[in-house]
Amino acid sequence: MNIYNNIADIRQSRWADPQLSWGLVPTMGYLHEGHISLVERARQENDRVGVSIFVNPTQFNDPKDLAVYPRNLERDLAMLQAAGADLIWTPTPEQVYPPEYQTYITVETVTQVLEGAARPGHFRGVATVVAKLFNVFQPHRAYFGQKDAQQVAVIKRMVQDLNFNLTVISCPTLREADGLAMSSRNVNLTPEARQQATCLYQALSAAKAAFEQGERSANHLRQMMTVVIQAAPLARIDYISITHPDTLMELETLEQTALFSMAVFMGKVRLIDNMQMVS
């Protein structure tokens, strides 16, 4: 496994044998089994796997959130070695955004709702850094978690609009035994908030059960999820939404595949989760 922070070294390693296919897994580090599942999928589908570890400052709209974002490079590298990654890019912020840097990517409509509305500038930072990662690694396939469903929609849009020559692959959300979606941020939950954080999964599961029994009113389903979340004393709802999975436009009646998604503060930690339901 080769680990570099210089772009020239990454390119040299990437192109050592131009015949090989490459999968890329972008991450912000502090890895868990969810990240590793992406690496394993990439491992199965490509000759070589590249992983980036970069806490991207431009996608944090809140400097306090950036300051408390957890990091443990040594542990990350051991996990990636065990998972069979080939090439790791661990750049500094100055390498990604050198002095005089002034180019950003704005994906329009699909970034204006949900996470984009709650976190202004977030997807501008995400799209910009992912475009840079695509240019540095030039992968055949790039792997993202469905856990960040809007991110997948935004990246797919960007890839299509800007003609990136690669396939975006969306991978299922890995969960803890009690249903909480794995996330690097979970470590910042207090023990009580961690216990109550299962309310996101419980709310989505309740909606799924009702949906499977034929409930098709988005209002009723949203209301049902709200009640479950509100039963957790530490929970504060940011949004609860039922949208088209690609356009992210809110739905009234569910006639097709729908994305159920939510953002909830558990104490000071903001968690997101989602499920897709197919009619």
The binding site for ligand AMP (CB under 6 A) comprises: 27-28, 34-35, 37-38, 144-145, 147-148, 171, 173-174, 181-184
- CB neighbour class for 2 (10 Å; exposed up to 12, middle 13-18, buried from 19): middle
Shortest Å distance, C-beta 275 to ligand AMP: 13
The least CB distance from residue 100 to ligand AMP, in Å, is: 27
In the complex with ligand AMP, the residue whose CB is nearer, 115 or 148, is 148
C-alpha–C-alpha distance, residues 135 and 130, integer Å: 9
Please identify, using beta-carbon distances, which residue of 38 and 96 lies nearer to ligand AMP. Answer: 38
Nearer to ligand AMP, 35 or 48 (CB): 35
Nearer to ligand AMP, 133 or 181 (CB): 181
- Which residues are marked as active site? 35
Query: What is the three-class DSSP state of 238?
Result: strand
Give the integer Cα–Cα distance in Å for 28 and 90. Answer: 10
Closest approach of Cβ 29 to ligand AMP, in Å? 6
Smallest separation, CB 66 to ligand AMP (Å): 13
**61-80: buried (b, 16+ CB within 10 Å) or exposed (e) per residue?**
eeeebeeebeeeeeebbebb
Q: Is residue 149 within 8 Å of 259, Cβ to Cβ? A: yes
